[in-house]
Amino acid sequence: MASSSKDERIAEFLRRLSIAPPAGTAEEALNLLSDTLNRVEDELTEIPYDPENWQTDGRMYPPRIDSGREVTGRDDLVRYRRKAHNTYIHENGGIEIRDINGFVIFSKEGADGKFVEFHTD
Amino acid sequence: MGKSTLALPIESLENQLRERFPEASIQLDRPRKRSGVWYLDLRWKGHPIAIQWQEGLGFGVSSSVAPGYGEGADETYPDAEATYGRVVSLLLSGAYTAPPEPVRLSELRKERGISQAELAELLDKQQGEVSKIERRKDVKLSTLRDYVQSIGGSLQVLARLPNGVVRVIEIDDGQDQPPR
């Protein structure tokens, strides 16, 4: 099986995540994101799953629980950091992925229909 | 009893880098739990570097701009001293880290905006031959060198050692050397 390029895998990951039924809780959202990404990588690359690898092996991995960060003033939101992205998971199951410069590259509503919102006031 | 005030290795590194590069933007990104993955984001003269650290795993350094989501560090180092040396070197030279993961030849060609037909012309080959090179699992170094030079690059073969050191391998591929 020929592996797909990383661009193709990211596009497929975000496509599948966007059409999946929304999650109802933060835990469901994290599981949805993790399962979707792991399936895409299993299907489209030959790189074995090795999440403990500290150095990149070319495979994309979902957020690690121990990479969670508090969001100031927001008990309803957790930020998961990787080297080039922040993934925000809301308690309603909403998901937002931003690059390290804050540019939103993906947003998905929770089961209540609401997207992750950031108050600026 | 009060909390320990001993600085973590990544906090010590942060202080060292602030002293060395006082005009740099440096932000420590703390995890919820001290045992989690810490990040130190540094930008100096437009050059961004992400440093990660976790107890027991050591440091990771990344400054490449390759696309992706959720990858590990491009390079790893066992301690703050080695990491500091590498970060200073990257900043002063303006160099970028290179992830050790392989990239396919066809991806490199597309990144350069060159079609197979255009590359075939540059290499004085048929388009089908270029296609074969891109799909071949075992390619001659000289073929690789010609391919990479034709898309505007130069070929280097690297050895990445277990201690994180990367060395360029000198290979005599039979190509004529320019006169000294």
Hey, is the C-beta of B31 within 8 angstroms of any chain A C-beta? Answer: yes
Residue B178 has pLDDT above 50, yes or no: no
Question: What is the mean pLDDT of the segment spanning B134-140?
Answer: 85
| Strands, E assignment, A1-121 | 68-71, 74-81, 85-90, 95-99, 104-108
Which chain A residues are Cβ-neighbours of B74 within 8 angstroms?
55-56
Q: Which residues from chain A sit within 8 angstroms of residue B97, using beta carbons?
A: none
Q: Which of A102-106, B47-51, B84-88, B156-160 is the least confident region?
A: B156-160
Whether the CB-CB separation of A68 and B36 falls below 8 Å is answered with: yes
pLDDT of residue B177: 47
Work out whether strand B47-54 and strand B38-44 pair parallel, antiparallel, or are unpaired. antiparallel
Express each pLDDT in B29-49 by its tens digit: 999 999 999 999 999 999 999
Q: How far is CA A98 from the centre of its chain?
A: 9
B33 and A63: CB-CB below 8 Å? no
| Pair B151, B114: CB distance under 8 Å | yes
Which residue among A5, A60, A67 places its CB closest to the CB of B71? A60
Instruction: Calculate what percentage of chain A has a pLDDT beyond 90.
Output: 72
Distances from the Cα of A59 to the Cαs of A87, B158, B162, in angstroms? 17, 21, 20
Spatial CA neighbour of B98 closest among B138, B125, B71, B80: B71
pLDDT at B7 over 70: yes
Percentage of chain A lying above the pLDDT 70 cut: 95
Find the range with the poorest average confidence among A75-84, B88-97, B150-159. Answer: B150-159
Q: A55, B75: Cβ pair inside 8 Å?
A: yes
Tell me: the pLDDT tens digits for A37-85? 999 999 998 888 988 888 888 899 999 888 899 999 999 999 999 989 9
Of A54, A59, A62, the CB nearest to B60: A54
Per-residue model confidence as pLDDT tens digits over B61-82: 999 766 689 999 999 999 999 9
Name residues 35-64 of chain B within 8 A of A (Cβ).
35-37, 39, 41, 48, 50, 52, 54, 57-58, 60, 62
> Environment class of residue B13 by beta-carbon count within 10 Å: exposed (0-12), middle (13-18) or buried (19+)?
buried
User: Any idea which of A18-27, B9-18, B137-146 has the lowest mean pLDDT?
Assistant: B137-146
**More confident of the two residues A8 and A34:** A34
pLDDT number for residue B155: 86
Give dist(CA B60, CA B131) in Å, integer.
36
- Other beta carbons less than 10 A from residue B40's beta carbon: 22
For tokens 């880098």, name the residue: B17
Other Cβ atoms within 10 Å of A30 Cβ, number: 21
Helix extents (H) in B46-140: 80-93, 105-111, 116-123, 127-135
Residues 6+ apart with CB under 8 A from A34: A62, A63
Q: Of B29, B74, B76, which has the smallest distance from its Cβ to A81's Cβ?
A: B29
Whether the predicted pLDDT of B18 surpasses 50: yes
The answer on pLDDT for B174 being more than 80 is no
What tens digit of pLDDT does each residue of A80-119 get?
999 899 999 999 999 999 999 899 999 999 999 999 998 6
Q: How far apart are CA A111 and CA A94, in angstroms?
A: 8
Percent share of chain B, pLDDT over 70: 86
Contact status of A69 with chain B (Cβ, < 8 Å): yes
